[in-house]
Structure 1
Amino acid sequence: MAGRRARAQEARRQQARKRIIGAVIALVILGGLVAVGVWGVSKLSERFAGPEDYPGPGTGEAIIQVQSGENGYDVAATLLEEDVIASTEAFTDILVDDPSIQLHPGAYRVQQQMSAQGALDAILDPANKVELRVTVPEGYTLPQVFERLERDLGIPQEEFLQLAGNFTQFDLPEDAISLEGWLFPATYTFDDGITAEGVLETMIARQHEALEQYGVADADAQRVLTFASVVQREARFAEDFGKVARVFQNRLDINMPLQSDATVAYGTGNLHVVTTTAEERADASNPYNTYQVPGLPVGPIGAPGDQAIQAVLEPTEGPWLYFVTVNPETGETIFSETYDEHQQAVAQFQQFLRDNPGWGG
């Protein structure tokens, strides 16, 4: 009797264990199904949610350079590298949807972690384009030009000097002896990131444009710029440019030395004076000494502008062979036909120097 009860109890215990094991297995299977379901939903969600994108509007600041010839994928890669956008797809998808969008070369100010649409809007907004502006005045010599370019563009003068040492790499005529005179004086706007070579190429191209505008043949370009550079340094007021050009042209026509102190000073490297010494004017080794060397100097002595170029091509009609600025402070200049008249004007200038000792030194 006792044995039967024991066997029955053991059977019930085994059945209970089977039920518990079955329940555990069922729970495990159910848990697995739930996990697989969640994973599948997650994958489907990722598939249809679109590419990763920042919510925007962004923080901080970044400068993005869009290079000439780059396409939307190139720009997207740059934006991703600078952490402006979260994925390239978010940006390029917008461009694919609207083929009319045009991306222009330049540097643009944007923010990091922007939405793709926000980044695109920033690049398309002209107000975000980063530009550098520099003004090169007429008459500036190469050292002065390079100093101004460094100041306003942040490009070291050494880079310009190195390029100037190999000036034949640029679009210049065969008789050019340097970059002097070929960097057109004007106001320029450059994209951030412009190179020294790019700056010089732009300025030289602008000089070619000016010469072409006045109908100057390539074979005459160096001579015209040399002549115009002397006029640029010697004339002060608009009404005097044509007269100064006429004086020098009249002298050239009769093989009379130009006798320009500006050319002598350029040859000595002392560019901040208005007078020269008798010793400097007697130095025939100075190729810019137009007291000793006949005709025009060996090359330009600065950067001539439109007014000087036009004056050389269309000088004012007149018989003058001499001129002198009798009052450097006001710029008053007297033009004379005869040497005696000129000497009277020179006496006025010398009186000014006596009244203003040390002026112009």
Structure 2
Amino acid sequence: MTDPQPPENHPFAEFFRETPSNTSRRDAGRVEEPRRPRRDRRPKRRRSVRTIITIVVALVLVGGLVAAGSAVFLSYQPQIEKFVAGSDNAEDYTGTGTDEKVSFVINDGDVGEMIGDNLEKEGVVKTSAAFYNLLLSQPDIVFQPGTYTLSKEMSAQAALTALEDPANHVTANVVIPEGTVAADVLTTLSTDTGVPLADLQAEAANYTQFGIDASAPNIEGYLFPATYSFEPNTSAKDLLQTMVNRTYQSLDAAGVAVADREKVLTLASVVQKEARLEPDFYKVARVFTNRIADDMPLQSDATVAYGTGEKRVDTTDAERNDESNKYNTYVYTGLPVGPISNPGDTAIDAAVHPADGPWVYFVTVNLDTGETVFSTTLDEHNRAVEQYQAWSAANPGAGG
């Protein structure tokens, strides 16, 4: 489907604009130095007292250097012993370890020797030397930072194999479906990561810290729906920042200018709630943009329901007439005051590239299949509503 562009005089046209080590080797040969000219021989003289004193002082200094050298040796003795131990005879466990488990952390920047030291310290391998010696024979090993589940008393090879197995990489997997509201996103994050809900709510309330403009009413719309893998002990702020960054990624990919992010997310969030089948996302977006262009209210029950704080789709006459609800698109024209859900890539793309068509009405006539009828006139729409009512009467309780 090609991306339609609104005409220049379209009231919503501005909203939908598109933003485009060498290691050098020493010379193996020996360079012979030029011979010095021979000095004239002088008669031997008896050593003076001063000369003898100089020799004695020199001997004392040499003795001091020897003592200092001993101290240096002692300070490096552990490393020297480790080097010597790093041979094929380094002590090692056998087998895959005991039933006692260890949560082992590889930090960003850790190198093989550091990992070996930490494995020995945690009781995973018997000696760091055995593990490091193994790495020397496999120089292409690349470790991924993170937390791993290992066992006590593993052989060096078993530990290395376990660290390379993604199944041992401990992460918290969080799945956020499209259209999930922010309050439910925070609850899911807390449940799946163990981060206190109060911490997540406090960070979300300070939403401008994530780069969201202060004109937005809240963080709604910026917590992108996707499947995430979070490392243990990730902070509440970092969890939310990851999700907001993913939203920016989607907006950037769709060519949305920074100044238009809030408007696009608001429209996309309504499309996400109202559309059922993917092709209809683009038609629903067109219905709403046509209504905005014609100064018609959106009349979306999804926005009204969001403003009431209730988790339902249907609304009452009283709720649709409630002027205190700033999300009431039966009372107020244009987009609601902010997003009403967290939309996915398709809804965002539909908001930026709505289908080409004259429709200003739509209704889903089969809640099981998602079949939706789009209409240009009120008479057409009323007939479609009758079609839905007939289906609903024939299928009581269906589609819920």
Q: In which range does the TM-score fall when normalised by the shorter chain? A: 0.7 to 0.9
- In the TM superposition, 1:5-84 aligns within 5 A as 50=85, 53-57=91-95, 58-60=97-99, 61-84=101-124
Aligned to 2:187: 147
Q: Name 2:46's counterpart in structure 1.
A: none
Match of 2:378 among 339, 352, 357: 339
Between stretches 180-189 and 342-351, larger displacement belongs to 342-351
Q: 1:274·1:360 contact (CA, 8 Å) conserved in 2?
A: no
Given candidates 274, 287, 292, the residue that maps to 2:313 is 274
Is 1:233 aligned to residue 273 of structure 2? yes
Give distance in 1, aligned partners of 2:120 and 2:381: 72
In the TM superposition, 1:239-318 aligns within 5 A as 239-271=279-311, 273-318=312-357
Say whether residues 1:168 and 2:208 are aligned partners: yes
Equivalent residue letter for 1:342: H
Amino acid at match of 1:322: Y
C-alpha change, 1:251 and 1:114, in structure 2 (3 Å) is same
Matched residue of 2:286: which SS? Answer: helix
Residue of structure 2 in register with 1:179 after alignment: 219
Structure number with bigger Rg: 1
2:159 aligned partner: 119
Q: Larger deviation: 275-284 or 154-163?
A: 154-163
What secondary structure sits across from 1:243 in the alignment?
helix
Q: Residues 76-103 of structure 1, C-alpha deviation per residue, up to 9 Å, x if partnerless?
A: 4542343212344544455577665432
TM-score of the two chains, using structure 1 as the length reference: 0.77
Partner of 2:171, secondary structure, is strand
* Corresponding position of 1:324: 363
Greater shift, 69-78 or 247-256, is seen at 69-78
Indicate conservation of the 8 Å contact 2:268/2:351, yes or no: yes
- Matched residue, 1:32: none
Are 1:204 and 2:244 counterparts? Answer: yes
Give the partner amino acid of 2:293. Answer: D
Q: Encode CA deviations 1:324-356: one digit per residue, 9 max, x unaligned.
A: 223333322221111222223333444555666
Letter in 1 for 2:313: V
Task: Show CA shifts across 1:166-201 (max 9, x none).
Answer: 222213234333221112112223344444333322
Indicate the residue corresponding to 2:27 in structure 1.
Answer: none
Looking at structure 2, the residues matched to 48 and 216 of structure 1 have their Cα atoms a distance apart, in angstroms, of 58
Question: Alignment partner of 2:334: what SS?
Answer: coil
**Cα distance between partner residues in 2 of 1:193 and 1:47:** 33
Q: For structure 1, which segment, 69-78 or 277-286, has the greater mean C-alpha deviation from structure 2 after superposition? A: 69-78
CA distance in 2, matches of 1:104, 1:197: 23
The whole-number CA distance in structure 1 between the counterparts of 2:235 and 2:98 is 29
- Residues 1:77 and 1:288: Cα distance change in structure 2 (over 3 Å): farther
TM-score w.r.t. length of structure 2: 0.70
1:308 Cα deviation after fit: 0.9
- Using the aligned pairs only, state the percent identity: 49
Report how many aligned residue pairs link the two structures: 315
1:270 shift after superposition: 1.1
In structure 1, give the amino acid aligned to 2:203. L
Aligned 8 A contact 1:137 1:186 in 2 = yes
Check 1:124–1:352 CA distance in 2 against 1; reply closer, same or farther (3 A cut). Answer: closer
Q: CA–CA distance in 1 between the matches of 2:195 and 2:115?
A: 25
Question: What do you get for the CA RMSD once the two structures are aligned?
Answer: 2.9
Work out whether residues 92 and 130 of structure 2, in 8 Å CA contact, stay in contact via their aligned partners in 1. Answer: no
Deviations 1:247-274 (A, max 9, x none): 0000111221111100000111112x22
Higher helix share: 1
Does the residue aligned with 1:188 lie in a helix, a strand or coil? strand
